[in-house]
Structure 1
Amino acid sequence: MHYLSTRGGIAPIGFADAVMMGLATDGGLLIPAEIPEVTPDQLRAWAGLSFQELALEVMTPFIGEEIPREDLRALIDRSYATFAHPQVTPLVEVGGNRILELFHGPTAAFKDVALQFLGNLFEYLLARSGGRLNILGATSGDTGSAAIYGVRGKERIQIFILHPKGRISPIQERQMTSVLDENVHNIAVRGTFDDAQGIVKSLFGDLPFKSAYSLGAVNSINWARILAQSVYYFHAWARVSGGDPERRVSFSVPTGNFGDVFAGYLAKRMGLPVERLVIATNRNDILTRFVRTGDYAVGDRVYQTLSPAMDIQIASNFERYLYYLLDGDSDRVRALFEDMRSSGRLEVDASHHRRVEADFAAAAVTDEETLEQIRSTYSSSGYILCPHTAVGVHAARGMRDVVCLATAHPAKFAEAVGEAIGLEAAQPPSLQGLMGKECRCIELDATAEAVKGHLQGALEAAV
């Protein structure tokens, strides 16, 4: 399997190079040259597989012979041995809703599904090549801790994670900053997640700097994350459908950066019988507005909400979808993003907008609706939703055969849960005692120059 850039500016590369490159050197995102098709017979055969066995089957066509099958099997088994539930991502019935619990990993968030695998994959590829990797990422809450837990203590890897100061939950902050391994560097930037993500993209776009300091990506710009997340769509569909290829299932996905819902779109393109993908956003509703109008326009500011991991204006994975929407016209993709950079908006024509509406439904959910959903679900079933999951459940109201993705454990958002139902969710073992741990973090201005200087100094000191 070869990989290309959405902007058409690189020669085809293999899977390993795509993983290590992260963001394409022309500023685009890496996508497979072709999407493998899954047949109805394969869907039937896969329906009885464990999560680990299913991951092996879904990933193999995208990796080809670059990683021997038994090595890939070992990577997958090691990655999901860290999960507390034997099914890895169990599907539960809650008051008439189907909830896909994605929070049984070491940091109690869905990002663990991809980042436990990506950390082991990085380690495997670096050991094979003898290279080193300096990971640079931005987080709106959960990506940072999942990435840190995926690579903490690993040889040949240093990780630098930026988070917006004061804009993530206390537990999310403590999960990152209490990891004291020497290869872990936490940076609080004085700004928003979009500021932090912009810094990361700027430094990746500085090709001499990226090459000199061996920068790698763990944000959902890295293709391996999308690939790993697509597995749980197949896993959930099999549990609902019993393996019947005629049974179509919808998914409601709380999303800000478009990576999680794009993984579902990838599964659908592969042949998974998906009816609708529901994009569930909060007040930061750029994706919802795009689905409804075809106009992708940045708002005047990023609003702080009860679902902070979705407090995002510019969804980095949107570019991958746009590439497929435009039938692989990389020149058009590049032109649209040049327009976006100058005007803050891009727009698709009416025919393409009709295709968007066929691919997705969308809903923007207010904080008041989020609290009401947590309250009503708890009242009817005793089940506690995290605020992000509540956004997805609310967006799916009235739909049939829908699976709602539970993206984080409710104990990570004690303030929102307490406001809704007057009590806190019981903490899983992975979160217990966090708030009393020693922390390490530095604070910087939200500029590429400040972060670049800190990264250079830290890496020179580590030599």
Structure 2
Amino acid sequence: MKYISTRGQVAPTGFIDAVLMGLADDGGLLVPQSVPKVTADTLQAWRKLSYADLALEVFSLYAGGEIPREELKKLVDDSYGTFRHEEVTPVRKLNDNLYVLELFHGPTFAFKDVALQFLGNLYSYISRRTKSIIHILGATSGDTGASAIEGVRGKEGIRICILHPHNKVSKVQELQMTTVDDANVLNLAVEGTFDDCQRIIKDLFADVGFKRKYHLRAINSINIARLLAQTVYYFYAYFRLEEQGVKGNVSFSVPTGNFGDIFAGYLAKRMGLPIHRLLLATNENNILERFVNEGVYQPGEFRGTYSPSMDIQVASNFERYLYYLYGEDAAAVASLMAGFKAEGRIEIPAEKRKQVQADFAAYGVRNEECLDTIGGYHGRYGYLLDPHTACGVAAVDKLAEQGEVAVALSTAHPAKFDEAIRLRGIPQTFPPQIQALFDKPQFRTVVGGTNVEIQARLEKFF
């Protein structure tokens, strides 16, 4: 298995080198040179596997034998042994046509744990095996930071710096990051939006000299290992529905801002998982909805919402989808991205838009609609949705076809977003791990949103 850049200027590279490279050295994103195909017989063989065993099989397809199977199995077992639920990502039935895939049973109560527990252990493994320095640099709209820090805190040979937008994440998300007082962790609160944080990260990784000098590694979903880990729960959920007698027409509704979680579903479908439809749920920062429905990818005005992890205007994984939309034509993608950098806009022709609408349906959820969905489903089923999951459920309500069964991805525990839950007068009890955060001191540095200032901080830390 080799990995290539969406822009075509990087030689095919192996799995470990792809993980270490993060952002491709030509500024593109790494994708498998060929997506492995999963046959009907393989799907049959995978149906009864535990989550960890299923993850082992999927990772084995992509690791290309670079990690001995027993060592890979230990990485997987160690990663998912930290989850509070024995199924890792259990599926809950709300009604005959709607299920919820609970992805929040990891250490930080967010779906990012599914990938970042593994990636943290993988980086530690690579550091020991290659005797290399791992300096992780990442940006977060809320959940990635806490999950990444939890995955590598205190680990020898690894340092991590996380940027988050100052005062634009939930209080619990902030506390999960900034109450960590480990010498290998640096939290920078950037005066700006998540898009500013993400732009700085991409610019620093695109400076290949700086990247190599300071041994920078990516923890964001620009890292291909993140997405490979997330494909697993699509397979797992599909098999759980089959056990309950659901056959065919299974769709997934995915709340997404950075296009990573839903791209993992798209990748699972390309592998051979018989997904009926992928429903793309956004909030009022709806660049992805507009792209699906109108064929135009152009940032709009930033809006703060009750679902802050999706308050994103520029989706970092969008380029990976463009690569497949344009028939794996790297030159076409490079041209499109150069045009986007120059003009801030991509517009695709009508025939491409038809393909996009065959791949996805999209819906942007308004703020009050998000809260109404939380209140309505709590009243009807006694089930509490966090505001991001509520966007996914609202998209199902809006887009569902007759007879379609949908799985809404539940990306976070509602306790992480109590500010929104309280607006509907719904009391909740915090898990003890979250309640304890409010009594801890915080460790963070507030910085301006310039590359120069961030670079100077990194040079001192790394």
Matching of residues 61-460 of structure 1 within 5 Å: 61-96=61-96, 97-242=98-243, 247-299=248-300, 301-397=301-397, 398-399=400-401, 400-420=404-424, 422-459=425-462
Higher mean Cα deviation, 94-103 or 175-184?
94-103
Distance 2:377 2:152 in 1: 36
Q: Give 1:426 deviation, angstroms.
A: 2.1
User: Is the CA contact (8 Å cut-off) linking 2:248 and 2:276 kept in structure 1?
Assistant: no
Q: Secondary structure at the match of 1:396?
A: helix
- Determine the C-alpha separation between the residues in 2 that align with 1:357 and 1:243: 30
For normalisation by structure 2, the TM-score amounts to 0.97
Contact 1:95 1:377 in 2 (8 A): no
Deviations 1:224-255 (CA, angstroms, capped at 9, x unpaired): 00000000000000011239997241000000
Distance 1:238 1:73 in 2: 21
Q: Which amino acid aligns with 2:360?
A: F
1:430 alignment partner, SS class:
helix
In 2: Cα distance, 1:57 partner to 1:207 partner: 34
Q: Which runs of 5+ in 2 are unaligned?
A: none
Give distance in 1, aligned partners of 2:322 and 2:116.
Answer: 25
The one-letter code sitting in structure 2 at the alignment partner of 1:176 is M
Instruction: Encode CA deviations 1:404-447: one digit per residue, 9 max, x unaligned.
Output: 00000000011100102x13322223312111101100011001
Contact 2:16 2:66 in 1 (8 A): yes
| Deviation for aligned residue 1:95 | 4.3
Take 1:449 and 1:243, find their aligned partners in 2: how far apart are those partners? 55
CA contact (8 A) 1:163 1:196 kept: yes
- Between the aligned partners of 1:417 and 1:367, the Cα distance in structure 2 is 12
Deviations 1:91-116 (A, max 9, x none): 00124520000000000000000000
How many Å apart are 1:131 and its aligned residue?
Answer: 0.3
CA distance in 1, matches of 2:327, 2:157: 39
Alpha-carbon deviation of 1:351?
Answer: 1.1
Q: Secondary structure at the match of 2:49?
A: coil
Number of residue equivalences: 457
Q: Tell me, which stretches of 5 or more residues in structure 1 are unaligned?
A: none
Give the letter aligned to residue 383 of structure 1.
Y
What secondary structure sits across from 1:140 in the alignment?
A: coil
**Does the 8 Å CA contact 2:227/2:261 hold for their aligned counterparts?**
yes
Question: Counterpart of 1:367 in structure 2: which amino acid?
Answer: N
Deviation digits for residues 146-176 of structure 1 (CA, Å, limit 9, x no counterpart): 0000000011110000000010001100000
Q: Output the aligned Cα RMSD.
A: 1.2
Aligned-residue sequence identity (percent) comes to 54
Aligned equivalent of 2:23: 23
Q: Could you tell me whether the CA contact under 8 Å between 1:323 and 1:333 is conserved in 2?
A: yes
Q: Secondary structure at the match of 1:274?
A: coil
